[in-house]
Amino acid sequence: MDGRDIGTVVLPDAKVKIFLTASPEARAKRRYKELVEKGMEVKYEDVLSEMKERDYNDSHRAIAPLKPASDAIFLDTSDIGLEDSVELIIKTIKENI
């Protein structure tokens, strides 16, 4: 299960909690590419700005703010693709069960 408050609010007693992250720039590049492939006219700078704004809003909201659980394992996928990210997640789960 994934989501921005799963490990802290929804499933606080999960055996393995992963805080999956990537730099705003890496996430914006991925989102920009996705939107362009859908035929949308967007600017990378706008996608990046919206990404940063969403991150700020999510981490500063009063109810269930975006934050890692104290026992979460951090995985940064800034420099790897989807398939490698999936492999890393599976490996991490197996190593921590």
pTM for this prediction: 0.81
53-67 pLDDT per residue, tens: 999 999 999 987 888
Q: How confident is the model at residue 6 (pLDDT cuts 50, 70, 90)?
A: confident
Express as a percent the part of the chain with pLDDT over 70.
99
DSSP string, the chain: ---TTIIIII-TT-S--EEEE--HHHHHHHHHHHHHHTT----HHHHHHHHHHHHHHHHH-SSS-S---TTPEEEE-TTS-HHHHHHHHHHHHHHH-
pLDDT at 94 over 90: yes
